[in-house]
Structures are given as structure tokens and as C-alpha cells.
Amino acid sequence: MRHTLPNAPQFYVTAPQPCPYLHGRAERKLFTALAGDSAMTLNNALSRQGFRRSQNVLYRPSCESCVACMSARISVRDFSPSRTQKRVMRRNEGLERVVTSAWSTEDQYELFRRYLDDRHADGGMADMDVFEFAAMIEETPVRTRVIEYRERPSGNLTRVDGALRAVCLTDVLDDGVSLVYSFYDPAAPEASLGTYMILDHIEMARQAGLPYVYLGYWVPGSRKMAYKARFSALEIYKGGVWQDMGDPQAHESDIHPLSVDPIVEQVARIDLPLD
């Protein structure tokens, strides 16, 4: 179904599919194309309203039965690492950050396959081949970087020769960095590489003077998403505004179907950038 605002991008709604986060639920997405000279401006504006990017599309959950999926971001200024997170940073001091353009490589894909086979063998991306992987990385109309984490080189090795341990596809927004997709070596669970990448992005944002790190969606009641609530200064986009998360359990009522606004009202409230 198409929904249009005057002089604005067209918005569409996907057909319901099984929810990957809450058993027995169905998910539906509101989305619009991301292209042309206004792509970066639109990406910035809609990211501040809970949208996420996937290649040339911006999307936001628009489910019929609940509003549990909430966009989450960390306030860089207010963030303070926990003792456990400090240990994670020390544990990964041997890794070096390598920032590249949005270009896929064979060793990225090999790591990606190992990660999926170990962590998400039954997920929607399980059958992704090398060409689809390249499209995920390279098809971007906005300012995007690939952040690689490699073992720190020694001897005659160059920085790009160190073993690849983790990768994050990252968009650079006008008010922060957005972790579009990340994956890591599943053979080293004790390294907590997923947590480490978030911590390192907080440091990158701080160094760049950017106020936020966007993490994607947090879902109360979902074990897959529980790790995000462990970061201090976490904000969620709820009821059309960003707010401190507070007690995670306080948001579990948002899976109730009466919490959902009609799709036409949702589209009408989207604040689009001026031409």
C-alpha cells in the first residue's frame, strides 16, 4: 500500500511477516526509497525519527499488533562505561580499527558467513551469497564507512594484513554515527566483540564531536536485543520523541495492540526536511 505526503517521498507498507523478535507476532514495515541529491538530508531527518537504512531504503516498524520496536541511541556526552565494559575494552586492546570506504572484500564475506552460520543459521540472511553481501555493503547513497577491526600487526605485516575479527557497516549522520550492520568472529565469544564495536563507535563519535551513536532497534521482552539496555545513557524513540530508557521493564506494555496508531496517522506525523 502506498502513502504519499504533498511534495514528499512516497511511503509504502510491507505485507505482514513473522516477527523475528517476539514469538507469535507479525511484523510490518513502513518504508521509502533513498536516492538522489536529497538522500543524505532525508537519511539524517528520518534517522532522528526512528527510521533505519538498508541499502537504498529507509524503513521503520509499523506493525498492526504492537509498537514494541523502538529505535535506540546512546548519548555520547552522558555515557559512562560499566566495569564489565571497561574489561571488554582492555580485552580488545590488541585490535586496530581500520576505516575504509563502502567496498566489500573476500575476507569480510568469509567472516560474515562464519558469523551467520554460528549465530543466525535460521535467520532471514542465512542464504545471502557473495553478490548480495556486496550489495548490502556497497549500495549506499549516503556517507557510509566500513569499520574493520583487525589484530594489531607486528613485524613486517601491514595494518591490512592483520587477521580480521569484526566489521561494522556505519553511516555518518549529521548528529552521530549509525551502526547499520555488524558481524564478528564467533570463535571468540569471550572477547565480546559486539559490545566492543559499540564502545569503539562511542569513542569515534566523541572524537568527531557527534552527540549520538544509533544502535538500531530495542525490543522489550526480546533476548536478542537485551544487550542494548546494558549501555548507560541509552535513549529510545517512543511516542514521537526521544527519551531516556529508564527501567526496561516499564516498556513491556507497548506490545499491546491498542498502543498502535493507524498507518495514515503515522505517515502524517513524519517531519520531512524542507527542500
Residue 6 has pLDDT above 50, yes or no: no
Residue 5 has pLDDT above 50, yes or no: no
pLDDT digits over 30-46, tens only?
A: 999 998 889 999 999 99
Q: Are strands 212-218 and 10-13 parallel, antiparallel or unpaired?
A: unpaired
**88 and 31 co-located in one domain:** no
Range of the domain at 37: 2-75+214-268
With beta carbons less than 8 A apart as the criterion, state whether 274 and 10 touch: no
SS3 152: coil
pLDDT at 4: 52
Q: Average pLDDT, stretch 162-168? A: 95
Is 40 contained in some domain? yes
**How far apart, in Å, are the Cα atoms of 29 and each of 45, 132, 175, 266?**
18, 21, 24, 12
In angstroms, the CA 138 to CA 166 distance is 18
Question: Is the CA virtual torsion 51, 52, 56, 57 positive or negative?
Answer: negative
**246 and 175 co-located in one domain:** no
**88 and 162 co-located in one domain:** yes
Residue 111 burial by Cβ neighbours in a 10 Å radius (0-12, 13-18, 19+): buried
Domain harbouring 87, CATH code? 3.40.630.30
**206 and 96 co-located in one domain:** yes
**254 and 135 co-located in one domain:** no
Kindly report the pTM of this predicted structure: 0.90
pLDDT at 121: 63
pLDDT digits over 212-242, tens only?
A: 999 999 988 888 888 999 999 999 998 889 9
Q: How many CB atoms lie within 10 A of CB 273?
A: 13
Based on C-alpha coordinates, what's the Rg of the chain?
19
Domain boundary among 176, 192, 210: 210
pLDDT digits over 44-84, tens only?
A: 999 999 999 999 999 998 888 778 889 999 999 999 999 99
**70 and 87 co-located in one domain:** no
Is 92 contained in some domain? yes
**199 and 218 co-located in one domain:** no
**187 and 232 co-located in one domain:** no
Cell of 139: 549500495
How many independent structural domains does the chain possess? 2
Q: Which residues of 45-79 are buried (b: 16+ CB within 10 A; e: fewer)?
A: bbbbbbbbbeeebbbbbbbebbbbbbbbbbbbeeb
Name residue 25's beta-bridge partners. none
Enumerate residues 6+ apart whose C-beta is below 8 A from 159.
Answer: 96, 98, 150, 153
- Alpha carbon distance, N-terminus to C-terminus of the chain: 25
